[in-house]
Amino acid sequence: MTNGTNVYNRLNAYRIMWVLVFYDLPTETKKERKVASDFRKKIMADGFAMFQFSLYLRHCASMENAQVHVQRVKKILPEKGKIGIMTITDKQFGNMEIYHGKKLAEPDNVPQQLELF
């Protein structure tokens, strides 16, 4: 690898973004369960994948692309409940340690970004 390639990979790790949506919505009534289910279905239709219950994430090519998806989530926020939206770099995401019980888990396959020139 040349020095230029190392710089590109390092910068890419800070340019590629992840959007995390985490929520706690009321589900006591049939109507509340439907609202929660609809919210989940809508964020999944926008490319978010479940990471844990009520925590969904989406890989984005850039901060600009991430902001598009953040705005889409904001447009469908339910009237009740707590929703958090966080944007982090690929580098920060890669520093996450995931455990299954006390055992450190192997990282899942990260989506590969397709670039067309």
- What digits encode the pLDDT tens for the residues 61-74? 999 999 999 999 99
Q: Phi and psi of 72, rounded to 5°?
A: -65, -40
| CA proximity to 47, closest of 55, 56, 58 | 58
- What is the band of 106 on the pLDDT scale with cuts at 50, 70, 90? confident
Encode pLDDT of 26-60 as tens digits.
999 999 999 999 999 999 999 999 999 999 999 99
What pLDDT is attached to residue 13?
Answer: 73
Q: At 23, which amino acid appears?
A: Y
Torsion 87-89-90-92 (CA) sign? negative
What pLDDT is attached to residue 78?
Answer: 97
